Structure 1
Amino acid sequence: MATQADYDRLGAWAVMLEPGTDIDRTTCRRTVPLEVLSLGMPRTGTLSMQEALSMLGYPTPYHYVSIFENARDADMWIPALRAKAQGRGKPFGRREWDQLLGHCGAVTDTPCVYFWRELLDAYPEAKVVLVERDEDKWFASCEGLLEGVLNPFAVWVLRFTDPGWFGRINNCSLLWIEAFFGTANLAQAKRNARQAYRAHYAAVRATVPKEKLLEYELGSGWEPLCEFLGKRVPEVKFPKRNEAKTTQAALGTLLFKAFRHSLTNVAIVAVVGTVVGGSVWRILF
């Protein structure tokens, strides 16, 4: 049973400790305006930015952790990633984004940031926040993320023994890594990471009009963000999450939950197999 310490340790990732929702986003529509696109790469304070945007009143800012809460989101992200990165299927337009992100007033983190051009086209009125990090520090953090996601046991075992939850999440992770870094091979993804990082920031800066873009530096507090967004400065400190530490704890919890699901799934298959096998034996013999 999860304790308060578990929730504190996992932060936003603590949604994994809950049963989760089962929402089919294809049945949804936009209910709130999407006003902010926070387009910093993963591992650039996206958890802190998600919390900050929520505190400023933007409903349910989307982050990769949102998929852990509603794994069925992956059923839309996966075809979107395949369409853009692999040319398989129809690219998403405003209708599909309203279905998938219609409950969100802001977005941050992957896979949203991979679709930054598409989201800009769909929501031209949205303001853009770009958080960059020292490249060496980002790369060190990104390495840990890649190693966790591309863990062979996760990719080759748990993805198949827990298809309903972990399989969806991991398939989505593999696709966004391949999309961003050109490969889901761990060694090659690390080699490609720095160039992918530079290319992303250069492209966003070259595309977004200056008056719609805030280059925000973590640690600079509420003032520049609130001034840019036209929001009142909160009377509390700007959230600061240790993403490396939190994500490491989350990966452990993720694998444990997937393993627990897998044991249940394997047991069910074994029981069904035994019953069916016994019935066939009695019929034939």
Structure 2
Amino acid sequence: MKVIIASFAKCGTKTLRDCLRILGYTVYDFDENFMYLGDEWMEIFEKGASVEMFTKMYKNIDAVSDLPACVYWQNLHEAFPNSKIILTTRKSEEAWTKSWNEQAASINGSKLFQIQCAFTPTGRKYARFLKETMKATFECSPTSFDVIPRHDDILRNKYREHNMAVQQKTPNEKLLVFNLSDGWKPLCNFLDKDVPDVPFPHSNKRSPVRSSHVAPMLFRCLDRELLFIISFTTVIIAILIYNACLYII
């Protein structure tokens, strides 16, 4: 592990993830953490984090970003003490809360997502993973109606506490508080990388949750499983109807 993106979700983490990938890093974002390491994370949620667990999980990975990894940034740094930490924030707590709530509303209000979480194997596993991630992040459970919490006071307090903790507990030489508007130079200087000859990315800027920027592997998997269930059910119904018609005839 070389880089820990300690930023909360909705703080430009997808842009920063893409920056690191352009610079040649292997990055595990929310998508990879669920799809490849979901079982390990569920064990962490249940039993607690350990240096040994994180060392095993990320021994061949260069960087992590987004939830749930950002919540465990300090444990990750204990496991990989030579790693550097990057923190991005929003202009204000209100701006972050508004952005979080907009994404939460799109997820909580998605009927397709609710169906996939109820009827597909990956969807059911993801619903449990997301619930435990939210509990670890905000120390509260979502309501039965909301997969992602939207209590403004809790959101703001946890956002503030998290950012303060990262800045206060990280050695100055290990930390970059990064403004995405500054572009490549401060990021590359911090990572001792040459500035690439490509435009600075701006990923997931008000993108729909099901866009290719957010969790492409997850949603492709959910779509495939739901399509299989619908197709299988349709075939079974057709066979039953056919046999019933034969019996009537």
TM-score band by shorter chain is 0.7 to 0.9
Matches within 5 A, 1:128-277: 128-134=85-91, 135-151=93-109, 153=111, 157-163=115-121, 165-181=122-138, 182-185=140-143, 186=146, 189-191=150-152, 192-247=154-209, 249=211, 258=222, 261-262=225-226, 264-265=228-229, 268=232, 271=236
Find the aligned partners of 1:260 and 1:232 in 2 and give their Cα distance: 40
Aligned 8 A contact 2:3 2:86 in 1: yes
Structure 1 pair 184/154, CA: closer, same or farther in 2 (3 Å)? farther
Could you give the per-residue CA deviations for residues 196-215 of structure 1, whole angstroms, max 9, x where no partner exists? 11011011112111111110
Could you give the per-residue CA deviations for residues 4-58 of structure 1, whole angstroms, max 9, x where no partner exists? xxxxxxxxxxxxxxxxxxxxxxxxxxxxxx1111111101111110111111222
Question: In the alignment, does 2:18 pair up with 1:51?
Answer: yes
Matches within 5 A, 1:54-73: 54-58=21-25, 60-67=26-33, 71-73=35-37
Amino acid at match of 2:205: E
Q: Normalized against structure 1, the TM-score is what?
A: 0.70
How far does residue 143 in structure 1 lie from its aligned partner after superposition?
0.6
Structure 1 pair 206/147, CA: closer, same or farther in 2 (3 Å)? same
Could you give the per-residue CA deviations for residues 83-120 of structure 1, whole angstroms, max 9, x where no partner exists? 3xxxxx2x332332233323310111111101112101
Question: In the alignment, does 2:42 pair up with 1:78?
Answer: yes
Find the aligned partners of 2:101 and 2:196 in 1 and give their Cα distance: 34
Aligned 8 A contact 2:107 2:209 in 1: no
Residue in 1 that maps onto 2:66: 109
How far does residue 193 in structure 1 lie from its aligned partner after superposition?
1.0
Amino acid at match of 1:110: L
Structure 1 pair 243/223, CA: closer, same or farther in 2 (3 Å)? same
Aligned 8 A contact 2:8 2:67 in 1: yes
Identify which of 121, 124, 127 aligns with 2:84.
Answer: 127
How far does residue 256 in structure 1 lie from its aligned partner after superposition?
8.4
Structure 1 pair 104/252, CA: closer, same or farther in 2 (3 Å)? closer
Q: Normalized against structure 2, the TM-score is what?
A: 0.79
Residue in 2 that maps onto 1:27: none
Q: Structure 1: 5+ residue runs without aligned partners?
A: 1-33, 84-88, 279-285
Aligned residues: 231
Find the aligned partners of 1:154 and 1:183 in 2 and give their Cα distance: 22
Q: Which runs of 4+ in 1 moved over 6 A?
A: 251-257
Aligned 8 A contact 2:8 2:159 in 1: yes
Residue in 2 that maps onto 1:25: none
SS at 1:129 equivalent: strand
Aligned 8 A contact 1:149 1:170 in 2: no
Structure 1 pair 252/111, CA: closer, same or farther in 2 (3 Å)? closer
How far does residue 217 in structure 1 lie from its aligned partner after superposition?
0.5
Identity between Structure 1 and Structure 2 (%): 25
How far does residue 180 in structure 1 lie from its aligned partner after superposition?
1.4
Structure 1 pair 52/188, CA: closer, same or farther in 2 (3 Å)? closer
Amino acid at match of 1:102: K
Aligned 8 A contact 2:55 2:79 in 1: no
How far does residue 262 in structure 1 lie from its aligned partner after superposition?
3.1
Structure 1 pair 43/121, CA: closer, same or farther in 2 (3 Å)? same
Q: Structure 2: 5+ residue runs without aligned partners?
A: 244-249
SS at 2:86 equivalent: strand
Structure 1 pair 130/252, CA: closer, same or farther in 2 (3 Å)? closer
Find the aligned partners of 1:48 and 1:118 in 2 and give their Cα distance: 24
SS at 2:4 equivalent: strand
- Root-mean-square deviation (CA), in Å? 3.0
